[in-house]
Amino acid sequence: MLGYLLLALLGVGAAGGLLFGLDDNNDNGASTPDTPGDGPDDNETLQGTDGSDLLQGAIGDDILEGGNGDDRLIGLGGNDQVSGDAGEDHVSGDDGDDILAGGAGDDGIYGGSGGDIALGGAGNDDIWGGSNADLLIGGEGADTMNGSSGDDVLIGTQTDLADSSVGDFTASLDSNAATDPAQAFLTSLGLSGTGADGDAGDHMNGGTGDDQMLLGSEDSAIGGDGADSFTLGDWIQDGRAAEITDYDPTEDQIAFTYEGDTAPELTVTDDGTGNAVISADGQIIATVNGAADTITADDVAMLQYTQNNATGDALEGSDTSDNLAGTEGADIINGQGGGDLIQSYAGNDILRGNDGDDAISAGEGDDRAFGNEGDDAMIGGAGNDFLRGGADGDAIIDGTGADTIHGDTGDDVIISSGYLDEAAMFDEAMGQAMTATDINVAYLATLNAANLDFSQDTDQQGDMVFGGTGDDAIVAGLNDTVSGGSGADTIGVSDALAAGDGPAAVTDFEPGEDTLVYSIGAQAQAPLISVAYSPGATATSGDATVLANGNPVIVVQGVGTSFTASDVTLTQRSA
């Protein structure tokens, strides 16, 4: 463990002290024992000196304060509160959900395992979140923030919380009835205002996971793996644009936040080298590297920095089951724990279910929706949506538009073709205060009832569908491209594909493991199923096109002539 390694390697200055399970409240560098009965299993309060101290907690919920000097503070186990105070400090939370503050000076802050909150303070700090979902706030100075693994929140712009002590931050959380990073992000920031972020530029790297990054003047951000969101704002100063280096239009979301009643005019231009330049009322806000051909102004979500209005909401759930309804604007909604019912309407929204079995309806607009943990039900609605189920077995319907769908892990049901009155289902649930569990059960029962009306599939824009790991059931529509991923997948198309329609395609069909299904209506006669092969196809290479009465319905890529009509299963719907 990092704490024990540091004990072996670090020296302690002559004017400092080594504190383990001790309580030192004087300034002479001496360490005095705790009261009888205290020890390494207790909740320790350790106070450093004006020298360079090494303070180590125990397995309880400890409070460590370094004081002046270049200190080394290690929380070890428990949910600790660790402050470096003045000096160039090394602050480590180690295990547990810790709150860490570097204070003034160029500090190194390391969250370790658990969901940690780290505050850089003044100085050029190096901040690492570690595993799980962490909140990292840089503060003054040119800071480097690394989320590492987990769904992290990284804040580069100057906020009211940026230079807080652990005590101040804890009080702010208490006053907002919040105890988790995302709630602090939405309710406690105290954004700096129009053109007011005069802080030095920070560097942020989200790492793995679906991260949220708030960029200030001259900040640079790497999202890393996962579906990340980059939030810009009118706090960015003229001539000090931010930089986003790895925007992926199929996964990531960029938002622009503004104060006041009038939204600025947002434009996206090419800088001549392939980079996209985002401007607000003519002022360059950010450069998105390599994205000139992949992002337009319509892809940037506009968020007004007020609550409960038609231009967008920031809504946060609790650890229990919540019903969260957005607005006609661009919303950011986080369900957190419990089985949440999340519904947005128009606008380019960012929706996250997080823990629990959630039900999510994205509505109109180009939305980003993430089920995260649990057996989630998700509906894309109109627009070019990005839908990601996450862990466990999810049910996902895309709606209209050119959507990108990831089932991820678990045995997922993905419908990129077909029709359900999903909007009415969610409206009824909201009106009756149903829970996400209620709607999930009804939703999955509907999918399993074999009564989808495929005649309503007139969306020809084409979706990208990735099943991920698990034994997935995927129904493809017009011009869709399907990758089942690992596992024994069932991939279906229907007689909604008429002559002249673009056939679907499957990229990774494994004969003998995967199943290809062609579905016809209850009263329809069975068609003649045949297969045509691409020029030069061999037994193990080339594409096979499945035809129903001569009409191409799906292209099975790379299977060669060994794939025949007998590999297609014909089914008849009940309605």
Over residues 534-566, the pLDDT tens digits come to 999 999 999 999 999 999 999 999 999 999 999
Strand order in the sheet with 314-316: 314-316, 332-334, 350-352, 368-370, 386-388, 404-406, 464-466, 481-483, 504-506, 551-556, 544-548, 529-533
Nearest CA to 57 among 68, 35, 41? 41
On whether the CB atoms of residues 99 and 115 are closer than 8 A, the answer is no
Helix, strand or coil, per DSSP, at residue 119: strand
The per-residue pLDDT for 166 is 59
Identify the pLDDT of residue 168.
57
Strands 395-397 and 377-379: parallel
Per-residue pLDDT, averaged over 157-172, amounts to 56
Half-sphere exposure of 187 (CA within 13 A, CB side): 19
Sign of CA dihedral 29, 33, 34, 35: negative
Looking at 7-21, 51-65, 79-93, which range is the least confident one? 7-21
Is 60 exceeded by the pLDDT of residue 29? no
Most confident of 20-29, 155-164, 261-270, 360-369: 261-270
pLDDT score of 42: 67
Confidence of residue 78 (pLDDT cuts 50, 70, 90): confident
Instruction: Give residue 313's pLDDT.
Output: 57
pLDDT at position 327 over 60: yes
| pLDDT at residue 528 is higher than 90 | yes
Residue 247's pLDDT band, with cuts at 50, 70 and 90, is: very high
Condensed to tens digits (0 to 9), the pLDDT of residues 378-432 reads 888 788 888 888 888 888 887 778 888 999 888 888 887 654 545 555 555 444 4
Q: How far is Cα 297 from Cα 252, in angstroms, rounded to an integer? A: 15
pLDDT at 3 over 80: no
368-370 vs 504-506, strand pairing mode: unpaired
Residues 6+ apart with CB under 8 A from 295: 247, 249, 254, 268, 276, 288
What is the structure's pLDDT at 340? 81
Least confident window among 62-71, 84-93, 346-355, 439-448? 439-448
Q: For residues 369 and 348, what is the distance between their CA atoms, to the nearest angstrom? A: 10
278 pLDDT exceeds 80? Answer: yes
146 pLDDT higher than 70: yes
* Cβ-based neighbour number of residue 488 at 10 Å: 14
Element (H, E) at 108: strand 108-110
Amino acid at 330: A
pLDDT at 499 over 70: no
Q: Specify the pLDDT at position 12.
A: 25
Look at the block and give the residue holding tokens 């939405």.
186
Considering the chain, what is the average pLDDT of its residues? 77
CA 249, CA 284: separation in Å to the nearest integer?
Answer: 20
Residue with tokens 């045995």: 411
Q: pTM for this one?
A: 0.60
Q: Which residues pair with 438 in a beta bridge?
A: none
In the three-class reduction of DSSP (H, G, I as helix; E, B as strand; rest coil), residue 423 is classed as: helix
Under 8 Å between Cβ of 382 and 367: no
